A and B are shown apart, each in its own frame.
Chain A
Amino acid sequence: MTHPEELLSGYVDGTLPNEERAVVDAHLAGCAICREEVELAGEALMALEALEERPAPFGVTGPVMAEAGRRFERRGAVWQRVQWGAGLAAAAALVLVVALNLSGGSPETLRAANPNAEAGAEGPAASMAAEDARPPKLERQRAVSYDDAGVRSLALGAEDFARKDDAAVETDAGDVEFAAQDERGAAIECLRTSSAPLDDPRDTLVRLIEAQYQGTPAYFAVFLESPGGNQPADSAIVWVVATRDCRNLHFASLPL
């Protein structure tokens, strides 16, 4: 006998529509296992609902607030200046060209370049597989070190980049090197570990780079994020994780 497992939580919650409730009632009449489970699930639900919310311990986010203060002080100095690490001319040129070219394309062109933005109804498993197989390739810029301003340039250039294919990227940059497919897979895996929004239907990955973030070897993932409901992207996101342990090094979001 197949048990209507997906319906039983809603049955216990009392949120099932009438027809589905009738299906479950009919099943329960002949299934002692499910009857027992429904009873147990009801007990568990009552116990969970009785858990009281605790106040957060005093000062728990103190270190975070201190860090926020430091960032606020730094931001004026750092975000307005473009500071590149040593010997980065080629990559810097690429990013700056892309940033300067940012001139608000129509939502239609953007959507055409990112068919996945329409795939909101797809299950994560499907989009996960698609994410692993489709562009962008992993650009290798291991000698390049980005700072906050560099990351911001990546965000600024995201919209423009989304309209290009790899061939155009290669032509524009002249000497862009792409990593092999398995290395790209490792980068995707690492980003997924750090909870980058790879499987969120609102986010479209437009660029993937292996470089350094302030001297630490890192993967950079550039996303365009839609507010949902099939609307065009309204912000660019850059997610930076360490290649060594996949820890999140930086995160930046920029309204388009």
Chain B
Amino acid sequence: MLVERHERRVFNLALRMTGREEDARDATQDAFLTALRKLSSFRGEAAFTTWMHRVTVNACYDLLRKRQRNPLLDRGDDLLPLEPPPAPDHADDTSLSIDVQRALRRVPPDFRVVMVLHDVQDLPQDEVAAILGIPVGTVKSRLHRGRVALAKALHEERERPGTPGPSEGTMPR
């Protein structure tokens, strides 16, 4: 079933774009509702994947815009946790990846989206260009500038007082 096959991918793209599980859920549902109309007659699997990514990116941009327009809905203040603390069954999601997620949110969306598609979702540059409707050269330069911005944001996240390092809080008894 197409929905199940793409669900995890779409959700993870939305999660890295919006930085919040609740928003990622909404964006995933919006994306699938929009895509639903095409499912019955879609034939080219590759083109569908491109289109599904495009629809998802769009749903994420919509959510991010909505949040910008209504700051009350945006509890995404950098000082607040982006997601609830990892539950026991998410124990592999260390505070290290939470740092990365927080830093990602500080990179402008146009750069963030290129990194998420290319570096997290492992899509080739020309596929990223097709999804976003921008030239491959633009993908390349945004990728580089995005990475530099992310690394700088990551340094700042990790230097922030009160942010526990990866191994703190796990003192052996």
Contact = CB atoms under 8 A, between A and B. Distances in A.
Interface of A: 5-10, 12, 37, 40-41, 43-45, 47-57, 60-61, 63-65, 67-68, 71, 75, 123-125, 194-195, 197, 199-200, 202, 225, 227-228, 234-235, 248, 250-255
Given A60-B25, A200-B133, A45 B39 contact: no
Given A56-B7, A195-B58, A48 B137 contact: no
A202 B130 CA distance: 10
Given A199-B133, A227-B44, A252-B37, A61 B29 contact: yes
Prevailing SS type, chain B contact patch? helix
Interface residues of B, number: 60
Nearest to A199: B133
Nearest to B100: A47
Given A8-B144, A235-B43, A63 B29 contact: yes
B36 A9 contact: no
Given A68-B3, A124-B135, A235-B41, 17 more contacts: A7-B140, A45-B119, A48-B116, A53-B12, A54-B11, A56-B11, A60-B7, A60-B11, A61-B4, A61-B7, A61-B29, A64-B3, A67-B33, A68-B39, A195-B54, A227-B44, A228-B47
B15 A195 contact: no
B43 A51 contact: no
Nearest to B119: A48
B78 interface: no
A124 B134 contact: yes
Contacts of B134: 124
Contacts of B135: 123-125
Give the top 4 A-B pairs by smallest Cβ distance, nearest first: A40-B151, A41-B147, A251-B37, A44-B147
Contacts of A255: 41, 43
B17 interface: no
Given A8-B144, A67-B36, A61 B120 contact: no
B97 A50 contact: yes
Interface in B1-18: 3-4, 7-8, 10-12, 15-16
A228 B127 CA distance: 13
Contacts, number: 145
B96 A50 contact: yes
Given A56-B8, A68-B39, A12 B144 contact: yes
A34 to B, nearest CB: 10
B8 A55 contact: yes
A1 to B, nearest CB: 16
Contacts of A252: 37-38, 41
B64 interface: no
Contacts of A124: 133-135
Contact of A50 (B21, B47, B100): B100
A202 B133 CA distance: 12
A70 B40 CA distance: 13
Contacts of B152: 40
A152 B147 CA distance: 45
B30 to A, nearest CB: 10
A18 to B, nearest CB: 18
B38 A53 contact: no
B40 to A, nearest CB: 8
A9 B133 contact: no
A55 B15 CA distance: 11
Contact of A57 (B21, B40, B120): B21
A54 B93 contact: yes
A60 to B, nearest CB: 5
A48 B13 CA distance: 12
B143 interface: yes
Nearest to A248: B34
A51 B13 CA distance: 12
Contact of B41 (A44, A50, A199, A253): A253
